[in-house]
Amino acid sequence: MKKFGPICAFLVVFLVLGTALSVVQSQMNAIRYTQHLTDVDPLDNAPPWVAFTSVALGGFRGLVADWLWLRSSKMQDEGNYFEMVQLAEWIVKLQPRFTSAHSFLGWNMAYNISVTFTNFDDRWRWVKRGMELIRDEALEYNPGDPELFRQLGWIFQHKMGQEYDDANRYYKTEFAKEMIRLFSDYYGQWELLAKAPDNEQKLRAALGGKNDFWDIIAKYGYPNFTDFERHFREIAIIPTSSYEGQPPIKEELDKLGITETVESCLRARWMKQKYRLEPVRMIHLNEVYGELDWRLSEAHAIYWAERGKEKWSSEKDTMRRLNCDRMIFQSLCQAFDAGRLIYLKDIGHLEMTSNIKVVDVTNKIYQDLLEYYNRQSSVLGSYGGFLDNAIATLYKFGEKKKANEYLQIARSIKEFSPRFNLDLDEFVLRELAERMKGATNAQAQNTIQSYIMNAYYQLAIDEEEPANTFITIAKQLYDRYMKDNEGIEQRKGLPPFEQMKKTTLEMTKQRINPAIAKRLEELLPHSGEKFIPEAGEIAAPEVK
């Protein structure tokens, strides 16, 4: 007993002091926060070992992070990238508040490391790693940090959205596949997803407190909700016997009429937890900017830029707000050019078309920003480019009246050169002639689609000869563009011409007068080909 006496005494003292400290510490933390005694807010969402290292290492964690940073630079110089993810993760954990460093590390992976690989799959892995570091790690500890939002948006808008990277079409294809897996049939049902229960308790309550769902998943061998959810995220659908080797859970849920509640809960949680996409914010952005295609990177760039902008606006940081505004209007321009996904299979078949619905909102955003930034030259220059493009694109897609309206708007802006003083036909003709020479992939795609669309319209009204002429012009433009971009097809190439004809035929049927569309359907019935695969048909990305 004598031997254990001091140990027992020590344990008692330890427990008493520990309890007392715990009480005092929480009060001290509260005082720290309310009296603004520290420069930074307390760390949110930090796992225990991050919280522990932050406190235990004290000032030394900076030194450790510095050493890791130096090692990371050395490894990068030597081409040893395998450690970069782990080192970046540790740096973030050691310095969870140093968001500019996190932002740099993410950007470095997405930009500098990715381009050292010639294989597109490897490149995409590093772009994803960069995004994941910011989204999954850095934002976890700094949920409202605008610098992180801006950087994330930039990767979406510039790295994935623009065509500077040879692999940009691959990124777009893979990202669209991920988004189809994420949204599946719930794409566009944002209200439903916003209202969906976001945890197990709420799901139980939404199912009327009944255990049916849990009984079903237990019957098919899922020990709990977490395991079922993990499997759901792997296959991207509720297991159904329609797919080989899957249990008929969907069928059983259908019988009970609870599929929608369960699936919307699972998808909403996936959106929020993995991709940090809040359906409520998506609804708001769709209201502000029009129907954005959330399977494409532009919509996501706008999402993150908007979140950054909120913070910079409230802090009255005009310079940083301008960066976010630029990202928004550039993304809107991209969305206008190629903001609608129409065909998805692989990099060679990716096809988008213009989302002309966003033209008015883009114009309004530009005008508001011109006002806000005192007609700053960079905004003005970008606006001029947008108007050029808008007039030509609207004209090409048969929206002559709207194109003319935009020509008038352009003429009314005194800073613009007299290039807008030509009449509409002349202006568009000149634009098209200049444009095909150095056209972006999106512009070339739009131009060719517009000629094919005109051809189908002529065909629908039984004007076969003009229809053939339009098709011939479209094919000539296609061949010319492909020849000009020989050797860089993967970066700037167009999908096969025959595919473009098929997709444009369906687009034409949707856009023209129903009576004429019916005639067109009689002449050229739908082939039955599925242009965009369903969630369950896309394999889970191999990069975990």
Partner 1 sequence: MKAFLAIVLQTIRSAIRSKVFHVLFVFILLSVFLLPMTVSGDGTAIGLVQIALTYSLGIVVALISTTTLWLGCSLLSHEIENYSVHMVVVKPCPRWMLWLGKWCGVFIMHAIIMLISGGIIYGLTQWRVAHGDFSELEISQLNKEIRVGRRSFEAEQPNIEHEVEAEFEKNKESFGKDLSPSATKTIKEELRRRVLARQGEVAPGTFKVWTFKNVTSKLNEKLANNNSPEKSANTPLETGMVFFRYRLFSGEADSTKQQQMPCIWGVRDPRAVAGGAPDPYINSMLNVMGGTYQELIISSNFIDKNNDNSLAIRFYNPPKEGWNGHEPIPAVFQPMDGPTVLVAVVGFANNYFRAMLLALLQIAFLAALGCTVSAAFSTPVATFVAVAYLVIGLSVQAAVSAPSRNEDGSYRYTGVANMLSHKFSQGIGHIVVSVDDLDATSDLIKGRLIEGRRLGESFLYLFCLRTGLIAVVGIWILNKRELGAVIRK
> Of the two residues 85 and 176, which places its CB atom closer to partner 1 in the complex?
85
Least distance from partner 1 to the Cβ atom of residue 233, Å: 13
Residues 178-197 that bind partner 1 (CB under 8 A): none
Stretch that binds partner 1, among 177-185, 277-285, 309-317, 536-544 (CB under 8 A): 536-544
CB 93 within 8 A of CB 61: no
Question: What are 171-175's contacts with CB under 8 Å, separation 24+?
Answer: 171/123, 171/124, 171/127, 171/297, 172/296, 172/297, 172/350, 173/344, 173/346, 173/347, 173/350, 174/124, 174/541, 175/295, 175/296, 175/297
Q: Alpha-carbon distance 78 to 70, whole Å?
A: 12
Residues 151-180 that bind partner 1 (CB under 8 A): 166
Least distance from partner 1 to the Cβ atom of residue 78, Å: 8
> Of the two residues 4 and 82, which places its CB atom closer to partner 1 in the complex?
82
DSSP code of 340?
E
Question: What are 452-458's contacts with CB under 8 Å, separation 24+?
Answer: 452/500, 452/501, 452/504, 452/505, 452/508, 453/397, 453/398, 453/504, 453/507, 453/508, 453/511, 454/398, 456/504, 456/505, 456/508, 456/520, 456/524, 457/398, 457/508, 457/512, 457/516
Least distance from partner 1 to the Cβ atom of residue 169, Å: 14
The sign of the dihedral angle between the CA atoms of 25, 26, 29, 34 is negative
> Of the two residues 443 and 454, which places its CB atom closer to partner 1 in the complex?
443
Least distance from partner 1 to the Cβ atom of residue 56, Å: 17
Question: For 341, phi and psi rounded to 5 degrees?
Answer: -80, 130
The answer to whether residue 487 forms part of the interface with partner 1 (CB under 8 A) is yes
The answer to whether residue 80 forms part of the interface with partner 1 (CB under 8 A) is yes
The footprint of partner 1 on this chain (CB under 8 A) covers a number of residues equal to 23
The answer to whether residue 83 forms part of the interface with partner 1 (CB under 8 A) is yes
Residue for token pair 């213009």: 354
The answer to whether residue 82 forms part of the interface with partner 1 (CB under 8 A) is yes
Residues 100-119 that bind partner 1 (CB under 8 A): 115-116, 118
The answer to whether residue 81 forms part of the interface with partner 1 (CB under 8 A) is yes
> Of the two residues 113 and 474, which places its CB atom closer to partner 1 in the complex?
113
> Binder to partner 1 among 50, 85, 253, 409 (CB under 8 A)?
85
> Of the two residues 231 and 375, which places its CB atom closer to partner 1 in the complex?
231
The answer to whether residue 125 forms part of the interface with partner 1 (CB under 8 A) is yes
> Binder to partner 1 among 39, 77, 462, 498 (CB under 8 A)?
77
Residue for token pair 């937890």: 273
- The three-state secondary structure class of 36 is coil
Least distance from partner 1 to the Cβ atom of residue 483, Å: 12
Close Cβ partners of 370 (under 8 Å, ≥ 6 residues apart): 376, 379, 380, 383
CB 173 within 8 A of CB 188: no
Least distance from partner 1 to the Cβ atom of residue 50, Å: 15
Least distance from partner 1 to the Cβ atom of residue 81, Å: 6
CB 344 within 8 A of CB 177: yes
Least distance from partner 1 to the Cβ atom of residue 118, Å: 5
Close Cβ partners of 53 (under 8 Å, ≥ 6 residues apart): 61, 93, 94
> Binder to partner 1 among 89, 254, 360, 537 (CB under 8 A)?
89
Least distance from partner 1 to the Cβ atom of residue 65, Å: 17
E strand or H helix at 514, and its extent?
A: helix 514-523
> Of the two residues 90 and 294, which places its CB atom closer to partner 1 in the complex?
90
Stretch that binds partner 1, among 19-27, 122-130, 235-243, 317-325 (CB under 8 A): 122-130
The distance between the two most distant Cα atoms of the chain, rounded to a whole number of Å, is: 109
CB 504 within 8 A of CB 447: no
> Of the two residues 84 and 505, which places its CB atom closer to partner 1 in the complex?
84
> Of the two residues 131 and 296, which places its CB atom closer to partner 1 in the complex?
131
Binding site for partner 1 (CB under 8 A): 77, 79-86, 89, 115-116, 118, 125-126, 129, 166, 485, 487-488, 542-544
